[in-house]
Structure 1
Amino acid sequence: MGDTLIRDAAVLRDIAPADAAICAGLARAVGWPHRPEDWEMAIGLGRGVVATLGEEVVATALWWPYGEHHATLGMIIVSPEHQGAGIGRQLMQALFAQAEGRSLLLNATVAGQPLYEKLGFVVCGAIRQFHGEVTTVPVPVLAGGAAVRPAGLADLPVLEQLDQAATGLPRGPLLRAVLEAGEGTVLMRGGEAAGFALLRRFGRGLVIGPVVAADLTDAQTLLAHGLQGRQGQFVRADIEDGSPLGAMLTAAGLKPVDGVNSMVRGRLPRASGPFQRYTLASQALG
């Protein structure tokens, strides 16, 4: 009876940039490190809803369109005091309506996965988070005549091209926002861009991602370059579970922590290659 009253009383409205600070507090309540600035970026790039009980925001959910056919979902939080009352399902149904038939991707926590499975999502991979203070800085190895240089906004067209080849998704606005909020490195070979890495403030410190490269060696070079000068700083990277990059991150002082399952509702995007995404911008944004 009580759950029914809580569910019926929850009112959904569109999320707004002014909600960032409130959402950051809600994230802290469930152990997430997102700062108000991280929420501002996420809200600015996408759409979503919050659930309110009276004047209190008790839940959030966002989605980000990548072209007309795909989107990612994330920042799906229900206050611990109001979990189990059906609010999570309300949030998801609202996102389905807003996303207008797109195939949907998300990274599911253990707690959230049963609901997503009931709503038609299936597991298609796994992500492992590494984080910690950098203790040992790996030396970048430039193979095959490669060189690295800083990335600038003028590089965005080629970064988007490489990223789309790796993910199958047009993610230009995301790349612009990440680069504007931080810094980037372009790997050059034969006068052409052969990969890139972006780094920005996030949560407790810094996050390296996305890292896009044609092979593991180039990805290791970009990751090592991103760690230069970061000794003693808190750094995070989200990689595919089981990726060889895990050994490199562990050697640098980062530790494997939470894992999530990647899920899809609909069709997976089709990446043309040969480039691959080796680290994520974030678990929510992909």
Structure 2
Amino acid sequence: MLGSTAKDAGDGVIALRPDHLEQAHGLSQALVWPYRLEDWAFALNLGRGFAVEADGRLVGTALWWPYGDSFATIGMIIVSPDAQRQGIGRRLMAALLADAAGRRMTLISTKDGEPLYTQLGFKPFGIVTQHQAILAKVPPIDSAVPVRAARPEDHAAIATIDERASGMNRTRLLDALFAIADVVVVEREGEVLGYGCVRRWGRGVVIGPVIARDQTDARAIIATLASGQEGGFVRIDVTEACGLAPWLVEIGLPQVDRVSAMALGEPPQAQPGAVLFALSNQSLG
């Protein structure tokens, strides 16, 4: 577990530990963030976390996830409502940035967090729209797109197209997702050209990541993943640039939020042939 190795960072900031997670879950619940305790454990196991305690209770958290040797994503930055305006968020970010130093970093910013991230040198580079609802009716699947369930032998090809689209080596994330998610791929003439995941998360399920060569394939992947979710709560976070938002609204997943993607250093660059349509979730990217 990477999260258990983060050293105490000084200034009252300590490593976030597994025994903190029930309190961390309580912090996210107080902000009406949808994380389950299992989602916290999944995130900490993949990354490194910091915390601040006051009077024996947790009042702040911040996590980051290494992707290869060059990149990191940042998320789950929370300060208890009754402990805000005390510099806790800034102290947590200082510890996190020192721990991840040398990497180019990205995060998805809330409106409240954006002033601090801007002061720390982060710059916006894109928009993410959040779509969610009880899915009243599953969308039709385009039978012309050859979508099938992923097999273990597909994992290397999935990792390759994921890195092409995300600009980062996310092998550890993918390995963790494959262990808990339903995964489908688009295959043509023996070549895997796209993939998508759906897994239990938050209030129901989250669809993502979704990577494909174009919108037609992305819609078929999403429709396939949603096919077993009728009557259930479905969430998907997509880049505004991918252009899927209007279609998601049409199939019954209205937009409920619009947030900024920000980077410290040059953001990761996609390569031709694969497009990142949906994130795994806003924290993990």
TM > 0.5 between the two?
A: yes
Partner of 1:86: 87
Partner of 1:224: 223
Q: Distance in 1 between matches of 2:158 and 2:111?
A: 33
Partner of 1:5: none
Q: Distance in 2 between matches of 1:242 and 1:194?
A: 20
Partner of 2:46: 45
* 1:73–1:104 CA contact under 8 A, matched in 2: yes
One-letter amino acid of the counterpart of residue 132, structure 1: A
One-letter amino acid of the counterpart of residue 186, structure 1: V
Partner of 2:103: 102
Summarize the alignment of residues 2-151 of structure 1 with structure 2, pairs less than 5 Å apart. 11-143=12-144, 146-151=145-150
* 1:10–1:87 CA contact under 8 A, matched in 2: no
Partner of 2:253: 254
The 10-residue stretch of structure 1 (48-57 or 105-114) with the greater mean CA deviation from structure 2: 48-57
* 2:206–2:236 CA contact under 8 A, matched in 1: yes
User: Could you list the per-position Cα deviations for residues 233-274 of structure 1 after superposition, in whole angstroms to 9, with x for gaps in the alignment?
Assistant: 100000113643222222222221122100001111222221
Q: Distance in 1 between matches of 2:23 and 2:231?
A: 30
User: Could you list the per-position Cα deviations for residues 83-137 of structure 1 after superposition, in whole angstroms to 9, with x for gaps in the alignment?
Assistant: 1110010000001111022111000000000000000001111111000011121
* 2:11–2:91 CA contact under 8 A, matched in 1: no
SS in 2 for 1:137: coil
* 2:242–2:276 CA contact under 8 A, matched in 1: no
SS in 2 for 1:247: helix
User: Could you list the per-position Cα deviations for residues 167-221 of structure 1 after superposition, in whole angstroms to 9, with x for gaps in the alignment?
Assistant: 1100011111112112110111111111000010000000000000011110011
* 2:126–2:241 CA contact under 8 A, matched in 1: no
Q: CA deviation at 1:158?
A: 1.1
SS in 1 for 2:224: helix
Q: Any stretches of 5+ residues in structure 1 without a counterpart?
A: 1-8
Partner of 1:161: 160
The 10-residue stretch of structure 1 (166-175 or 154-163) with the greater mean CA deviation from structure 2: 154-163
RMSD after superposition: 1.5
User: Could you list the per-position Cα deviations for residues 43-76 of structure 1 after superposition, in whole angstroms to 9, with x for gaps in the alignment?
Assistant: 0000010111121000000000111111000000
Q: Percent identity?
A: 41
Q: Distance in 2 between matches of 1:87 and 1:192?
A: 49
Partner of 1:4: none
Partner of 2:4: none
Length-normalised TM-score, structure 1: 0.93
Q: Distance in 2 between matches of 1:235 and 1:216?
A: 20
Q: Distance in 2 between matches of 1:10 and 1:242?
A: 40
User: Could you list the per-position Cα deviations for residues 8-30 of structure 1 after superposition, in whole angstroms to 9, with x for gaps in the alignment?
Assistant: x9721111223222211110111
One-letter amino acid of the counterpart of residue 44, structure 1: N
Length-normalised TM-score, structure 2: 0.93
Q: Distance in 2 between matches of 1:229 and 1:183?
A: 11
SS in 2 for 1:257: strand
One-letter amino acid of the counterpart of residue 190, structure 1: E
SS in 1 for 2:282: coil
Runs of 4 or more, structure 1, over 3 Å off, are none
Figure out how many residues of one structure are paired with residues of the other and give that number: 276
Q: Any stretches of 5+ residues in structure 2 without a counterpart?
A: 1-9
* 1:20–1:37 CA contact under 8 A, matched in 2: no
Q: Distance in 1 between matches of 2:175 and 2:36?
A: 19
